[in-house]
Amino acid sequence: MHLPIFDLHCDLLSYLAKIPGASPSNENDIACALPWLRKGNVHLQVLAIYTDVRPGSMDLALKQAEIFQSLIEEKTGAFTAFQAQSWKSSDQIAALASIENAAGLGEENASWEAIERQLDKILSKVGRLAYVSLTHHTENRFGGGNYTKGIGLKDEGRRLLDLLIEKNIPIDLSHSSDLLAEGILNHIDQHQPHAPIIASHSNYRAIWDHVRNLNDEFAQEIIRRKGIIGVNFLRAFLDNDVPERLFEHILHGFQIGGENAQSFGADYFYTQDFPDKSRHPFYFPLAENASKYPEILDVLAENFSAEQLEKLAYKNVLHFYQNLFS
């Protein structure tokens, strides 16, 4: 099925920033390379600015923002800045930047003034941000990540939330610990109940019991708040052994009320230097690169209407950002 695809998460920028000789066209290196995106009919790709919690993360984040800017500004380039209100299908792939791990906004010893300057610098290079994740898997100065227990929203996390809300930037729960997600939602309810909340690349714990996945309570909170949830294609978060679990995650999203929220967030990244060999291969063949979206939609067409498939493929994401940017 040949529908436009809007995908909420890939790590092309960190690959380009860190791997010597990296190219956005090298389909042998990364599953979201340009040839795969074109074959999959991807029309919007969110490019994450990803950093670890370590010294130098702010410089690395800024480098990725500059790479995003260069990709957009290439006169004959493949990417163009996403214009939500006037989007139409074209040969260029629309792009938005996001921040995956706010360590890229503020290292552990950075002053608050430096954090504010860093956010402004990044915005000056990328324009709008699709979302910001406060953490990655581990703990940072803002809160606890997926693999931390008992660490929720910290005081500086509250301060960062207020800054992001002021700038109308969505908050991403995909890498939040349960306690951090609860803290984020509670803080927003107390201070700005209409702030946008999403999960850019998350699956469902009800289908595959993994701390990286959303429990139904948080998923339904995102749905209630008119957010979006991008299904993740990584084998570890689908089911280590059953490829078809991908379709069960998507179906579950619809079943819990997410017909207007469910979307794609494939999470393609450079895997060749990943040390844990038990994670290889990272993706099942049915979702091994960004060319696979039409085939995935063909399978889903057995259980979904044409209107539902359009929502999943691109309309839910398009409507979210049209409302956000209006």
Longest dimension (CA), the chain: 54
List the one residue out of 11, 2, 4 whose CA is nearest residue 233.
11
Q: What is the pTM of this model?
A: 0.98
| Bridge partners for 199 per DSSP | 229
Instruction: Give the distance, in angstroms, between the CA of residue 185 and the centroid of all CA atoms in the same chain.
Output: 19
Q: Say what the pLDDT of residue 121 is.
A: 98
- For 232-257, what is the mean pLDDT? 98
Q: Say what the pLDDT of residue 278 is.
A: 85
- Amino acid occupying residue 28: N
Q: How many CB atoms lie within 10 A of CB 60?
A: 20
No. of H helices and E strands in the chain? 12, 9
**Exposure letters 250-265 (e unless 16+ CB within 10 A, then b):** bbbbbebebbbbbbbb
Q: How many CB atoms lie within 10 A of CB 160?
A: 25
- The rounded percent of the chain whose pLDDT value lies above 70 is 100
- Is residue 197 within a helix (H) or strand (E), and if so which, with residue range? strand 197-198
All structural domains of the chain, each given as residue ranges with its CATH number in brackets, are 5-325 (3.20.20.140)
Which pair of tokens denotes residue 286? 């049915």
Residue 316 clears pLDDT 80, i.e. is over it: yes
- The rounded percent of the chain whose pLDDT value lies above 90 is 96
Mean pLDDT over all residues of the chain?
97
Q: Tell me the per-residue pLDDT of 85-110, one tens digit each, with 9 for 90 and over.
A: 999 999 999 999 999 999 999 999 99
Give the whole-angstrom CA distance, residue 266 versus residue 148: 23
Count the residues in the chain: 326
Q: Are 177 and 144 in contact (CB under 8 A)?
A: yes
Q: Are 130 and 80 in contact (CB under 8 A)?
A: no
Residue 277 clears pLDDT 90, i.e. is over it: no
